[in-house]
């Protein structure tokens, strides 16, 4: 069972490392697309990317997993409710926003599960 938990934790980390790297490689596009009206949008994209990479690394090396999972869950809640949810009320963006909202909400829930099941 311990091997399964370790494997699941590491597999859970991989997408966040990839998403985080994507935030650094495409910060301008993400800032303009998602956060166009937010002040210091590019800085927010970099910070969220760093958060995802650090959470992923934490999961892989099995250090500060509970804290990393809770912070990641908070970040994903912000993504779901502040970035994705407003698009649910626009008929032109409703479908893509629903997909993004459900993705972020599901990943947030999984991060909370990781935090709750971590023995630190």
Show me where the domains of the chain are located.
2-117
Q: How far is CA 49 from CA 4, 17, 92, 108, in A?
A: 27, 8, 27, 15
pLDDT, tens digit, 9 for 90 and up, residues 56-78: 999 999 999 999 999 999 999 99
Asked whether the predicted pLDDT for residue 41 surpasses 80, the reply is yes
pLDDT for position 33: 74
DSSP annotation of 89: G
pLDDT, tens digit, 9 for 90 and up, residues 85-114: 988 999 999 999 999 999 999 999 999 999
Q: Provide the pLDDT confidence category of residue 38 given band limits of 50, 70 and 90.
A: confident
pLDDT for position 40: 85
pLDDT for position 104: 96
What are the strands, taking DSSP E only, across 48-103?
none
Q: What is the pTM (predicted TM-score) of this model?
A: 0.91
Distance, in Å, from the CA atom of 74 to the CA atom of 52, rounded to the nearest integer, reads: 11
Residues 6+ apart with CB under 8 A from 118: 65, 66, 69
pLDDT for position 13: 97
* Segment holding 2, helix H or strand E: helix 2-25
């Amino acid at each position: 069972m311990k091997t399964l938990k370790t494997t699941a934790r590491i597999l859970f980390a991989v997408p966040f490392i990839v998403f985080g790297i994507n935030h650094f490689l495409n910060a301008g596009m993400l800032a303009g697309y998602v956060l166009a009206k937010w002040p210091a949008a590019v800085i927010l994209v970099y910070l969220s990317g760093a958060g995802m990479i650090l959470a992923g690394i934490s999961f892989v090396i099995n250090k500060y997993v509970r804290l990393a999972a809770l912070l990641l869950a908070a970040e994903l809640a912000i993504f779901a409710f502040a970035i994705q949810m407003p698009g649910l009320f626009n008929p032109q963006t409703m479908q893509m926003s629903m997909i993004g909202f459900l993705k972020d909400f599901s990943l947030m829930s999984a991060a909370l599960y990781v935090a709750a099941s971590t023995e630190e």
